[in-house]
Amino acid sequence: AQSVTQLDSQVPVFEEAPVELRCNYSSSVSVYLFWYVQYPNQGLQLLLKYLSGSTLVESINGFEAEFNKSQTSFHLRKPSVHISDTAEYFCAVSSLYGGATNKLIFGTGTLLAVQP
Amino acid sequence: DTGVSQDPRHKITKRGQNVTFRCDPISEHNRLYWYRQTLGQGPEFLTYFQNEAQLEKSRLLSDRFSAERPKGSFSTLEIQRTEQGDSAMYLCASSRDKAYEQYFGPGTRLTVT
C-alpha cells in the first residue's frame, strides 16, 4: 500500500519569494509521482510528473520538483512566486505495479497563500 | 482535447433523495476514474473503468453508490438515499491506456441538506 504525507497544510509566502512545498511518500514498490494544483472551485490540473529518467522535473510556469528515492521525497519548489500561484497543491503517487488500475493516492494538500 | 467535462457542476439535494452525476472523458481516453474529495482533504479513489468494464471499486463505495460506463465513453455515478456524509466534491478523471497521468474534470459539488 502507498501513502503520501504533506506536512504543511498551509504555506504563507510573500510575492517574489522562493517557496518549497514538501511531499514524502511511503511505498513498498516503485512509484510514479505527481503534483497537481487546484484553484478555488475547480478540478485538479496536472502540474508536473516524475515517471522515469532525470530526477528533476520542471513545469512550464517555473515550478520544479526533485525525486529523491533515498529520502522518499518529491518536494515542489519555485524560486519566485506570484500572486496567481495561490492555490491548493496536491502530491500524488501511483504504483508501477498497481495492476490494471493505476489509481492515484493523494496527500492532504498544501495551501500556498501568496501575499503582496 | 476538449478536456474532461462533468455535469452538473453543483447539486443540492435533500437527504434520502437519489442523485446522478455524469462524466465525459477526453475522447480517446479509455481509462476513467471517479474520486471523492471532502473539505480539507485530498481526493480519494472510488472506482475505475477500462472501457466499459468496472475493474476496481474502493471500499468507500458503499452499496448506495453505483457507477456505469455503458459504451465505454461517458460514465455516470449514482448515489441512492443520499446522506449528509455524502456531501463532497465528486471528481472524474481520464487517461490513455498505459499512461499514468490522469486529467481531471471540474468536479460536481454535492450538498446534502
Tens digit of each residue's pLDDT (9 = 90 or more) over B70-102: 988 999 999 999 999 999 999 999 999 877 889
Query: Can you tell me the distance from the alpha carbon of B76 to that of A93, in angstroms, rounded to the nearest whole number?
Result: 26
Chain B residues touching residue A50 (CB < 8 angstroms) = none
Q: Mean pLDDT, to the nearest integer, of B45-62?
A: 92
Nearest to A103 among B45, B101, B106 (CB): B45
Side chain identity at residue B46, one-letter code: L
pLDDT > 70 fraction of chain B, expressed in percent and rounded: 99
DSSP B35-75: EEE-TTS--EEEEEEETTEEEEE-TTS-TTEEEE-TTSS-E
Query: Can you tell me the distance from the alpha carbon of A15 to that of A108, in angstroms, rounded to the nearest whole number?
Result: 24
The tens digit of pLDDT for each residue in A46-84 reads: 999 998 888 899 898 899 999 999 999 999 999 999 999
Chain centre distance of CA B93? 8
Considering only alpha carbons, which residue of chain A is nearest residue B6? Answer: A43
Identify the contact set of chain B against chain A, taking CB-CB distances under 8 A: 4, 6, 31, 33, 35, 40-45, 48, 50, 55-56, 91, 93, 95, 100-107, 109
Picking from A49, A75, A44, A74, the residue whose alpha carbon sits closest to that of residue A60 is A49
Q: Residue A52: what pLDDT?
A: 83
Chain centre distance of CA A57? 11
